Chain A
C-alpha cells in the first residue's frame, strides 16, 4: 500500500465514522425509522409489516398525548420493541374490557404517576396494559407519525380516540 492510498483509506474511514455518528444522532434524537410487524395493531398497521417513521422529540419532551401510537420497549422483554396506542396518561381512569373474546366484563384502573396505559388497536390479539398493567413512561422510544412503506399506503398515522 502506497502512502497516498493509505492516507486515502484513513480519510475515508474517518468520513465513514463521522457519517455513522451523524446517522445515530438523527435516528436517536430527532426522527428514526422502524419496522413494525404483527397482528396487535390491526387495522392501523398491516399484519405483514410496515416501515414507519418515528418522532423521538415528542416522547423526550413528555408531550405524548392520548391516542398517539408509540414505540416502546416491552416491560416483559427489554429486547423486544412493540407498537401500541396510548389510552391513558398519569392520573387518568381507564375502563377496559378484560377479555373481549369471552364477554363484556370491564374493569377500571387508574394510571399511576409517570406511567401510561397502552393498548393495541386489535383488542382480540394484543398483549398490552390489560395484561401487564400500566407501563413507565421511560419505556417509550418514540411516537409513530407516518407510514413510509409500502408506498401505496403511505400516509400519516394520526390520533384516534
Chain B
C-alpha cells in the first residue's frame, strides 16, 4: 500500500462517480441554474451578494418526459435555443402541436405545426421567446422543471399555469 496505490484507487473512484453522475444527469434528473428576468416571478434573478450564492435560482429538472415527449400545456421546460445550440433556455410551454394560439400583441391566430410547441416567459415584458422566433421543434426540449431547490427560502414545486382565453385545441 504505497501512496501511488491510494492515488490510483482515488482516481478510479472519482471516474466511476463522474460517469454515474453524468448518466443520471443526462437521463433522469438534473440541476439547472436559471438566470435572467424572463421567468419572474416563478424564478428570480437575485441581485443579492449573499456569500457563495449563485446568480439566479437553482432548479431541479426531470428528463423522464423525453422518452415519449409527453408534455402538458403550462409545464416549465428546458430547451436549446433555436439560434444558438449551446444555450439552454427555461420557459413555459404554452401550446402543443395542433393547438390554435392567439399571438400576443397582434390579432393573428396561429396553428402550431406538427412536432412543434410554443414557449413564452412568465414575464412577458422582458422575455425573448416564441413571440420573436415562432414555434420551436419539440426535439429541442431537454427536460421539464419540477422544483426550485435554491435559495432554501424559495424552495417549492413549480406550478403548471395556463394563460386563459388564448389557446384552443381545435
Question: A residues bordering B, Cβ < 8 Å?
Answer: 17-18, 20-22, 24-25, 28-29, 62, 72-79, 112-115, 135-140
| Complex: chain B residue closest to A141, CB-CB | B139
Known pairs A18-B20, A114-B84, A136-B85; A24 contacts B137 (CB<8 A): no
Taking a contact as CB atoms under 8 Å apart, the answer to whether A114 and B83 are in contact is yes
Is the Cβ of A75 less than 8 Å from the Cβ of B139?
yes
B1-45 contacts to A, CB under 8 A, are 16, 19-20, 22-23, 26-27
Inter-subunit contact B20/A138 (CB<8 Å) = no
CA distance A139 to B20 in the complex (A): 25
Q: A78-B137, A138-B139 are in contact. List 16 more A-B contacts (CB 8 A).
A: A18-B20, A20-B23, A21-B19, A21-B20, A21-B23, A24-B22, A25-B19, A29-B22, A77-B114, A113-B83, A115-B82, A136-B140, A138-B80, A139-B137, A139-B139, A140-B85
Q: Chain B residues with Cβ under 8 A from A137's Cβ? A: 85
A28-B26, A115-B83 given as contacts; is B19 within 8 A of A73 (CB)? no
Chain A residue nearest to B137 in the complex (CB):
A75
Q: Is the CB of B20 within 8 A of A78?
A: no
Does B138 sit within 8 A of A, measured CB to CB?
Answer: yes
Beta-carbon nearest neighbor of A79 in chain B? B69
Once the chains are docked, how many angstroms separate the CA of A139 from the CA of B116? 12
Does A136 lie within 8 Å of B19, measured CB to CB?
no
A20 CB to closest chain B CB (Å) equals 8
What residue of chain B has the Cβ atom nearest to residue A136's Cβ? B82
Residue of B nearest to A23 (CB): B23
Q: Which of B27, B81, B140 contacts A139 (CB 8 A)?
A: B140
With the chains together, A27 CA to B75 CA distance in Å? 29
Q: Among the listed B19, B27, B68, B82, which residue makes an inter-chain contact with A22, where contact means beta carbons less than 8 Å apart?
A: B19
29 A-B pairs with C-beta separation under 8 A: A18-B19, A24-B22, A25-B22, A25-B23, A73-B137, A73-B139, A74-B115, A75-B137, A76-B113, A76-B115, A77-B115, A78-B69, A78-B115, A78-B137, A113-B83, A114-B84, A114-B85, A115-B82, A136-B80, A136-B85, A136-B137, A136-B140, A137-B85, A138-B80, A138-B81, A138-B140, A139-B137, A139-B139, A139-B140
Interface residue from B82, B83, B86, B115 paired with A62 (Cβ < 8 Å): B86
- Docked Cα-Cα span, A79 to B97, in Å, equals 14
Q: Which residue from chain A places its CB closest to the CB of B139 in the assembled complex?
A: A73
CA distance A22 to B16 in the complex (A): 8
B123-144 at interface with A (beta carbon < 8 Å): 136-141
Q: How far is the CA of A138 from the CA of B20 in the complex (A)?
A: 25
Whether the Cβ atoms of B23 and A138 lie closer than 8 Å is no
Nearest Cβ on chain A to B40's Cβ, whole angstroms = 25
Nearest Cβ on chain A to B25's Cβ, whole angstroms:
11
Which of B83, B85, B136, B137 is A112 in contact with, Cβ under 8 Å? B83
**Chain B: minimal CB distance from A128 (Å):** 14
- Docked-complex contact B85 and A62, CB < 8 angstroms: yes
Query: A136 to B16, Cβ gap below 8 A?
Result: no
